[in-house]
Chain A
């Protein structure tokens, strides 16, 4: 084999700028971001509050537009697409896990999980579905409404929903932020195994060094710029790095 294999990129951003407001109140949330998200990698984004982590996640996912620059998902440049086309891209390639309120209250756990497939009208792969449910330990809870689930269970349902359509990339904004340490580490361990065992790509925003340690790679954000990157992190190394940044 003579050609060097270029690792495929799940998402990219080039010279990404994001400004909020005008005049005095203007805020630059993203200030020239260049980032590549490789396939089958678990990326964590860390940084102080207000540094632009959520903004980066949202613009990468096409939930919000950039003020300048471009970004791609699965080799599709989304910055030039119409709203309807971006919705299409989100449906096909992206899964989401938010910090809270992830589920539709009127749908039960199973329906919430299969929601993305229902929307696009695709059949559920039962083997894959059972696999996810089994690992997440949700088997007994499938007919429950979100209100009847604990916070940890709700987040696991949200992760299952993100996984079920095997999206190109999953974005998670502090998915364990509302959970106790045990539920949180269970959730993160599962996300990690989704990357290792099934080759899922995940980008996660977090404040928590322990959570970040589950990732393959950490991006450090400060004032809207990527100031550092760390591979194969451990909780201690992350903590040290955070202290350097003035935390």
Chain B
């Protein structure tokens, strides 16, 4: 039986090429992702080894000491005094205990002063690590390459790659920016970090111990590195150190720390994997439609052969097994091909990334996981897709062998329609529940409903396509005469086949349209957001929070009317973490129209406004509530409601914010210029200062002391946000591209197989005088109709589902759907072009058929 299956594959390899390729493409995405993340993980775990494995034991803040993980702006505060470090040094078995301190700041290029003015984002380059120099290579993890190490205050050492990249030579003054200003240090040497200076693109700078404390504005150390005496048992040493260090810190061996970090990174990479594999699965799902189609057509074409086999005594189950065996062979070949393609894809992509952001990869290896997953997925998809056609084949009666025509005629679409309608309705129902029911996380319902609805729609599309092709017949006949009429007939003749083909495309386009609807609506939200502000300029810091001094500096500039800052942090209420927004009630309403009751101006100290989520918990205006924060418990009066979804659950003023958090990390300062002095860029009465000029004036004041502060006008920010959204759309479209390529292969495959099936018919048409070009056109029209049908259906579904998704996300600030007309037009045109392209091979084959051979062919 296996030999028979193999022979059958070998006998007609062509019809299986595209099928195998469809499976291979999906598999390759899965394999590529795994190779990629695997090597990324190994690249970073090398880095972690370099960083941590050098120290025998590390003393650092205990991870569970303070649950303020939600606050990304909290700088690692010094937790070890120099006495603590001395105490660690005194522990038995410790050779060296070195306090470590990391400074939040950035190493700037030599021409930072000029570059800051034009592009507001120029200083937001790759991150910098600024740390204190100890002087022992085991602690510093650094080998001096040129010059020497840091010996006295005012000196700096850079890593070998960054010095030339930034444009510094030994003897130059290096500018280091921190919250408190720019300081200059003399470059005295360059070092190689670890074995390969593998820094994942970051800049590494060492300054003296005293300078580090000054820059960080902190007398303490944030960690300590311990070098053990010869032959010491590290785990036990860590235990002994643990006894002398202050509460809230821990001692961990370097090896464990590196492993812990790698593990954490792997957790993150796992999400990357899941994200990318999701697209691989979409591609395979689309591929499955093509496999179903291929097998269905092959079975139809071999009806006589199977009938004959049955007549000579082969059982139905043997035939079924034979077809499934064929599927296994294809799956194996395709998965292997897919793994190879995936590896090459990862190689190419890694090369591309390396080109732009340095060498961040370990060696690209093909993990066993990836191989197993690829084979498993490839085989599963192929087998599942082959089951229905195989069962169909096993039911072929011996009598069929004697029939003149191989096409088994028109079986009604009843079962298909019933199942399709049921799924469609259930899907639509679940989506409505998500949209209109009052559930938590409505998007889960919308998502699950969408999948069901889509499968239902692909089943139902046969019912739509058939009459549609019938209805289009006169139009196509008018436009393309007989070629058009025949094309319409061919589509109508095999509604299942045509609609499966279109369905593959439909799914791809649907996802594209969905994403486009989503991102386009997101853009509208962004635009409205920025349109609703009266602020002329937004100030943020590229590293951490806005320094308060900078705000004072901005307010001091002529022409600045007022500033209004906003900060965010987290506090516990009822044992759950909630976000707290801190604003300046006096000025807040000058920059945004807050939807609050009463007005934000009236928010006073000791009061809070709450959002809808908190109201849902049953908290009412007038009540007293207690928030728990690092600074302790603070009881507040609920004085009003403020709905700005997704920003803050609680809103307080700065006085209250300081009670809660000490210093409030300011995320953004909105600056309003004096209208009487500063004119709009657009209408500029002669000689008046424009917003841009005024912005430059403010920037000039900041450049020296606060180089990390970025000023951006709302328009610039909007543009930046839109660029990111477009990038998101681009990345997702590219990933979906593989599904679309597969879908097009499907169109080509179906046409190719049906050309084979219609060999005699085409021969006859040629004999009675149909020109080659007409044959070509017939196939092309057929292809285009299927492609456009799939695309239009996909767009309708995609926009509908995208709208549903957007509406379900109303909680996140979406207040309306924007339909991406331009994209839709583009997709339609692309579909027509794709239809033409997909038809090339089949049409070429059809138009080249030898007439006599075609007529004589057994059909």
Contact = CB atoms under 8 A, between A and B. Distances in A.
Do chains A and B stick together as partners? yes
Interface string B409-423: 100000000000000
A115 B768 contact: yes
Contacts of A103: 764
Contacts of A101: 760, 764, 855, 859
A83 interface: yes
B7 interface: no
B843 to A, nearest CB: 16
Interface stretch (B78-86, B121-129, B343-351, B483-491): B483-491
B726 to A, nearest CB: 46
Contacts of A118: 481-482, 485
B852 to A, nearest CB: 6
B763 to A, nearest CB: 9
Nearest to A173: B855
B732 interface: no
B768 A96 contact: yes
B771 A87 contact: yes
Contacts of A105: 405, 407, 493, 761
Contacts of A94: 769
A121 B765 CA distance: 15
A102 interface: yes
A9 to B, nearest CB: 21
Nearest to A94: B769
Contacts of A104: 486, 761, 764-765
Contact of B405 (A91, A111, A147): A147
For the complex of A and B, the 6 pairs showing the least CB-CB separation, nearest first, are A91-B769, A106-B489, A118-B482, A90-B769, A87-B771, A119-B482
5 contacts: A101-B855, A103-B764, A106-B489, A106-B490, A115-B768
Contacts of A121: 481
B852 A63 contact: yes
Interface string B392-435: 00000000000001010100000000000000000000000000
Contacts of B493: 105-106
A198 B449 CA distance: 68
Interface residues of B, number: 28
Nearest to B766: A87
Contact of A84 (B409, B765, B772): B772
Contact of A63 (B760, B767, B772): B767
Interface in A1-56: none
A84 B775 CA distance: 12
B851 interface: yes
A195 B768 CA distance: 20
B770 interface: yes
Interface string A89-114: 01110111010011111110001000
A224 B572 CA distance: 102
A56 to B, nearest CB: 13
A58 interface: yes
Contacts of B771: 84, 87-88, 91
B774 interface: yes
Interface centre among B766, B767, B769 (most CB of A within 10 A): B769
B772 A83 contact: yes
A209 interface: no
Contact of B769 (A64, A83, A87, A147): A87
A63 B765 CA distance: 12
Interface in B456-499: 481-482, 485-486, 489-490, 492-493
A178 to B, nearest CB: 10
A120 interface: yes
Given A106-B489, A119-B481, A90 B855 contact: no
A120 B765 CA distance: 12
A90 B768 contact: yes
Interface centre among A84, A87, A92 (most CB of B within 10 A): A87
Nearest to B850: A64
A115 B259 CA distance: 76
A161 interface: yes
B489 A107 contact: yes
Contacts of A63: 767, 851-852
A107 B486 CA distance: 8
A175 interface: no
B759 to A, nearest CB: 11
A184 interface: no
A115 B765 CA distance: 9
Contacts of A92: 769
B407 A115 contact: no
Contact of A116 (B486, B492, B768, B851): B768
Contacts of A98: 764, 767, 855
A147 B409 contact: yes
A89 to B, nearest CB: 9
B847 to A, nearest CB: 10
Interface in B828-859: 851-852, 855, 859
Contacts, number: 75
Given A91-B771, A98-B764, A105-B407, 8 more contacts: A63-B767, A84-B772, A88-B769, A91-B768, A94-B769, A104-B486, A118-B485, A119-B770
Interface centre among B760, B770, B773 (most CB of A within 10 A): B770
A64 B852 CA distance: 7
Interface in A196-223: none
Contacts of A95: 768
A147 B761 CA distance: 14
Interface in B536-593: none
Nearest to A89: B769
Contacts of A147: 405, 409
B769 A116 contact: yes
B852 A119 contact: no
Interface in B733-772: 760-761, 764-772
Contacts of B851: 63-64
Nearest to A120: B769
B782 to A, nearest CB: 12
Contacts of B765: 104, 115, 119
Interface string A50-86: 0000000010000110000000000000000001100
Contacts of B409: 147
B486 A106 contact: yes
Contacts of A119: 481-482, 765, 768-770, 774
Interface centre among A63, A84, A116 (most CB of B within 10 A): A63
Nearest to B773: A84
Interface in A113-163: 115-116, 118-121, 147, 161
Interface string A183-197: 000000000000000
Nearest to B760: A101
Interface in B184-234: none
A92 B405 CA distance: 30
A113 B771 CA distance: 18
B303 to A, nearest CB: 15
Nearest to A84: B771
Interface centre among B407, B486, B767, B771 (most CB of A within 10 A): B767
Contacts of B760: 101
Contacts of B774: 119
Contacts of B852: 58, 63-64
A19 B320 CA distance: 45
Contacts of B859: 101
A116 to B, nearest CB: 5
B139 to A, nearest CB: 83
Contacts of A161: 768
Contact of B767 (A88, A90, A106, A120): A90
Interface centre among B407, B489, B855 (most CB of A within 10 A): B855
A31 B770 CA distance: 31
Nearest to A111: B485
Contacts of B766: 87
A161 B859 CA distance: 22
Nearest to B770: A119
Contacts of A106: 486, 489-490, 492-493
A92 to B, nearest CB: 8
A96 B764 CA distance: 9
